[in-house]
Amino acid sequence: MPPQIAAFGFRLTAVIGAALVLQFFSEFYFLNEGPAANAARGWAAGPDLLISISVYGFFAYLFLILLDRFAVHSLAGLLLAGSVFGWATEALVVPVAHEAPPVSWLWPSIGWHALVDVIGGWFLLRLAMRRLAWPWLALLFTVGGIAWGFWATWTWGAADEAPVVFTVAEFWTIVLVAGATWIVGTALADIGARRPFRASRWETGGVALATLALFLGTGLAFLPWSAGLGAMIGASLGALALARRAPPGRPNILAPLQERPPLRAYAVMPLLPLAAGATYPFVLEAGLAVPSGEIVAWLFLLGTLGFVWALLRSALDARAKHGEQQAP
pLDDT tens, residue by residue, 182-235: 999 999 999 999 999 999 999 999 999 999 999 999 999 999 999 999 999 999
Q: Is 153 contained in some domain?
A: no
Cβ atoms of 237 and 310 within 8 Å: the answer is no
Most confident of 1-15, 179-193, 249-263: 179-193
Q: How far apart are the first and last CA of the chain?
A: 47
Q: What is the pTM of this model?
A: 0.95
| CA–CA–CA angle 225, 226, 227 (5° rounding) | 90
What is the extent of the structural domain holding 118?
3-128+165-259+286-320
Q: What is the mean pLDDT of residues 143-152?
A: 97
Look at residues 7, 33, 2 and name the one whose alpha carbon lies nearest to residue 199: 7
Cβ atoms of 128 and 140 within 8 Å: the answer is yes
Q: Is 160 contained in some domain?
A: no
Q: Tell which phi-psi region holds residue 191, choosing left (phi > 0), alpha (psi between -120 and 50) or beta.
A: alpha
Q: Is 147 contained in some domain?
A: no
Total domains in the fold of the chain: 1
Q: Is 204 contained in some domain?
A: yes
Q: Is 29 contained in some domain?
A: yes
Residue 247 has what pLDDT?
60
Q: What is the mean pLDDT of residues 287-304?
A: 94
Q: Is 220 contained in some domain?
A: yes
Cis peptide before 256 (omega within 30 of 0): no
| Mean pLDDT across the chain | 93
